[in-house]
Structure 1
């Protein structure tokens, strides 16, 4: 019964465009670009209303989906292995951060969880755009601490958020 209920929740999840319309995505993209001026990492924001029915039925975990999106959007494909994905799965109220291997041992799980908690707090307050901008800013601060900007012009991944 739980699989059926979850599948329905994902099938009938309101569109991510309702929570994140194009103007909001543009402002989140601007926040990504501003943050990337402070560090040499790459930040990607992706939001998805619900999983495809088959994945929801099989019980696919939000983390597994985030890792798939990380790979599909090629967030791993940076010179310094320092790409970070901030992923929201609206139907499950899930917030996932997937960081490339260059950040392992530098940023702790507690630091990533603090970012998720800040995003969650803003989402619960009903300010979806501000939640994403807050998450991007906090991720950028962590990246700036470990991969400060060198002044070298580089932008390896698009700053435009992705609505799946």
Structure 2
């Protein structure tokens, strides 16, 4: 997985909001379609996970554990990326597996979480998540182009827990 410095942000994810309110405002269909579109150009895999409940510790270790629990490290090319959002904790993280991190460098992750921050702060959750999917998709397409034997290794739907 990617190193911690480049992948996490502890910023306001909008105002205080229960996870079920966040999930109601999240356009699940648009997010899933954005994942399908991004993955359609590469062999990479993208997942979005919404963490229920509040916690005080850093989001990155939780995101890294969830990455492993979802089996994302098992992709053939080690090219999976998890977008982890914890609305109640007002935190988020983006975690890339070793194959992605080797190609991206730390600046990519820093810029990505920075760009997401403004949208989360304005409570434009859909835009923040779809922006991340799009940018990760471009990175994956550049370094892990789709081939004839590319398969969808992970579900595209939003996971939560």
TM interval, short-chain normalised:
0.7 to 0.9
More helix by share: 1
Q: Please identify the structure whose Cα radius of gyration is greater.
A: 1
Give matches, 1:77-116, under 5 Å.
77-116=74-113
Cα deviation, 1:82-124, whole Å, max 9, x if unaligned, reads: 1110111223322211111112321111101111112111111
Shift of 1:70: 0.4
Task: Give me the whole-angstrom Cα distance separating, in 1, the residues matched to 2:50 and 2:94.
Answer: 12
Q: What secondary structure sits across from 2:103 in the alignment?
A: coil
Moved over 6 A (4+): none
Q: In the alignment, which residue of structure 1 is the partner of 2:114? A: 117
Cα deviation, 1:116-144, whole Å, max 9, x if unaligned, reads: 11211111122111211111111111111
Report how many aligned residue pairs link the two structures. Answer: 146
1:70 to 48, 67, 71: 67
Q: In the alignment, which residue of structure 2 is the partner of 1:8? A: none
Contact 1:35 1:136 in 2 (8 A): yes
Q: What secondary structure sits across from 1:30 in the alignment?
A: helix
Task: Give me the whole-angstrom Cα distance separating, in 1, the residues matched to 2:31 and 2:47.
Answer: 10
**What is the CA RMSD across the aligned residues, in angstroms?**
1.8
Task: Tell me, yes or no, if structure 1 residue 148 matches structure 2 residue 145.
Answer: yes
Report which structure shows greater RCO (CA 8 Å, sep ≥6). Answer: 2
Provide the TM-score with structure 2 as the length reference: 0.82
Could you list the runs of 5+ residues in structure 1 that have no partner in the other structure? 1-12
Contact 1:17 1:163 in 2 (8 A): no
Provide the TM-score with structure 1 as the length reference: 0.81
